């Protein structure tokens, strides 16, 4: 195939042997990561590291779009970085870095800000939700946040962006911004696509199954990846259920459905096998079994996390190495952009 001739008469380019697609994903240090982040995102990123060329980023610049306590932000950033590695992201196979360690993100954001029509930003639904009642008080950073996210993605010539459904609109905006820049200044950016996981991966809050489990939710609503076994058992024992007794996957019973979804995600068993296992048993027994699974899943993660946090110099070195790995690509993209726009 590599010896064939293209219709133009020029020899066709040899198909590059198994060039991996590049994926980029980010997670904000806006609290302690939860079991929802783990089941819906982190464990998939970890499992797919050999399929893609991976870049993962702790997006601290995104965290300050809403007020943050400086000391907490500093701690949350290190904690999230350590937890990503503890949960299976491997610095040898992936580039893992902190967004603010790379000044190229903010520089590219300004250029992209200047080619993004405000009309596009006005259509972003997450801003409307996050800004709350008094939109006039929301920061300009929260409003332009999708452009910073576009810069994160475009700086690394990303092919695919694994995100939850709520972020699809932002990835599409990144694609539109890339396309608009390419049309105006010539081919510069890869136009990325969202990689959305099929449904069933959305873990809901333990005290209100109509809301998503979120690291910025109330204490009893989520299981943090660093929760002690006793706290995990207590939160699961207290989790909302309903007045029926059977333990079956019924979407019309969202509370038990959510707990069963967690059980299924962590054991990998089929719905039928799980229903058979708990046929004739009560909520108490099921919740105890679920707590055992969650505790057993998180125990090795917590051990690795503790070792990383107990050795701050090694954690600093990992962060520096992660940034050093992605820096050449970010610098090359930014240099091209500055030249095309006439700033160099």
Contact footprint for ligand LTN (CB under 6 A): 24-26, 28, 59, 62, 149, 152-153, 161, 163, 167, 170
Per the CB < 8 A criterion, the answer to whether 23 and 55 are in contact is yes
Tokens for 58, please give them. 């702790």
Q: Considering the rule CB under 6 A, would residue 235 count as an interface residue with ligand ATP?
A: no
Per the CB < 8 A criterion, the answer to whether 102 and 319 are in contact is no
Only one of the segments 196-204, 262-270, 325-333, 336-344 lies at the binding site for ligand ATP (rule: CB under 6 A); that segment is: 196-204
Q: How many angstroms separate the CA atoms of 227 and 107, rounded?
A: 38
Q: Which does 153 bind (CB under 5 to 8 A by kind): ligand ATP, ligand LTN, none?
A: ligand LTN
Q: Considering the rule CB under 6 A, would residue 163 count as an interface residue with ligand ATP?
A: yes
Is 281 a catalytic site residue?
Answer: no
Candidates 168, 215, 284, 340; catalytic one = 215
Tokens for 205, please give them. 């809050």
Per the CB < 8 A criterion, the answer to whether 236 and 259 are in contact is yes
3-state secondary structure of 10: coil
Minimum gap (Å) between residue 44 Cβ and ligand ATP = 9
Of 112 and 153, the one with the shorter C-beta distance to ligand LTN is: 153
Tokens for 330, please give them. 């970010």
Q: Which does 334 bind (CB under 5 to 8 A by kind): ligand LTN, ligand ATP, none?
A: none
Candidates 13, 168, 212, 235; catalytic one = 212
The strands making up 193-196's β-sheet, listed across from edge to edge, are: 94-98, 53-58, 22-27, 160-163, 193-196
Phi, psi of 289 (to 5 degrees): -65, -40
Q: Which does 326 bind (CB under 5 to 8 A by kind): ligand LTN, ligand ATP, none?
A: none
Is 130 a catalytic site residue?
Answer: yes
Minimum gap (Å) between residue 59 Cβ and ligand LTN = 4
Please give the radius of gyration of the chain, using alpha carbons only, rounded to the nearest integer.
Answer: 22
Is 212 a catalytic site residue?
Answer: yes
Residues with catalytic annotation?
130, 212, 215
């Amino acid at each position: 195939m590599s010896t064939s001739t293209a219709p133009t008469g020029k020899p066709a380019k040899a198909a590059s042997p198994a060039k991996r697609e590049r994926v980029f994903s980010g997670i904000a240090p806006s609290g302690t990561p939860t079991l929802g982040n783990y089941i819906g995102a982190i464990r998939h990123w970890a499992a797919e590291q050999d399929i893609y060329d991976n870049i993962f980023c702790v997006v601290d610049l995104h965290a300050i779009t809403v007020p943050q306590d400086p000391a907490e932000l500093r701690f949350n950033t290190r904690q999230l970085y350590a937890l990503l590695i503890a949960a299976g992201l491997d610095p040898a196979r992936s580039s893992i870095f902190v967004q603010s360690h790379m000044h190229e993100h903010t520089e590219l954001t300004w250029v992209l800000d200047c080619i993004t029509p405000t009309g596009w930003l006005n259509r972003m639904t997450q801003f409307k939700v996050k800004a709350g009642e008094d939109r006039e008080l929301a920061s300009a950073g929260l409003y332009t946040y999708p452009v910073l996210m576009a810069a994160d993605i475009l700086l690394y010539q990303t092919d695919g962006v694994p995100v939850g459904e709520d972020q699809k609109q932002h990835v599409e905006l990144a694609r539109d911004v890339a396309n608009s820049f390419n049309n105006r200044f010539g081919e510069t950016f890869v136009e990325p696509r969202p990689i959305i996981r099929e449904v069933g991966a959305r873990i809901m809050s333990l005290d209100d199954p109509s809301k998503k489990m979120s690291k910025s939710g109330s204490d009893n609503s989520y299981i943090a990846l660093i929760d002690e076994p006793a706290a995990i058992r207590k939160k699961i024992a207290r989790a909302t259920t309903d007045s029926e007794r059977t333990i079956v996957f019924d979407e019309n019973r969202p509370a038990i459905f959510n707990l069963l979804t967690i059980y299924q995600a962590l054991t990998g068993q089929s719905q039928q096998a799980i229903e058979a296992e708990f046929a004739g048993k009560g909520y108490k027994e099921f919740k105890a079994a679920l707590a055992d699974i969650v505790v057993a899943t998180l125990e090795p993660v917590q051990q690795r996390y503790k070792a990383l946090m107990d050795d701050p110099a090694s954690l600093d070195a990992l962060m520096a190495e992660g940034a050093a790995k992605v820096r050449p690509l970010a610098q090359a993209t930014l240099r091209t952009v500055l030249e095309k726009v006439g700033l160099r």
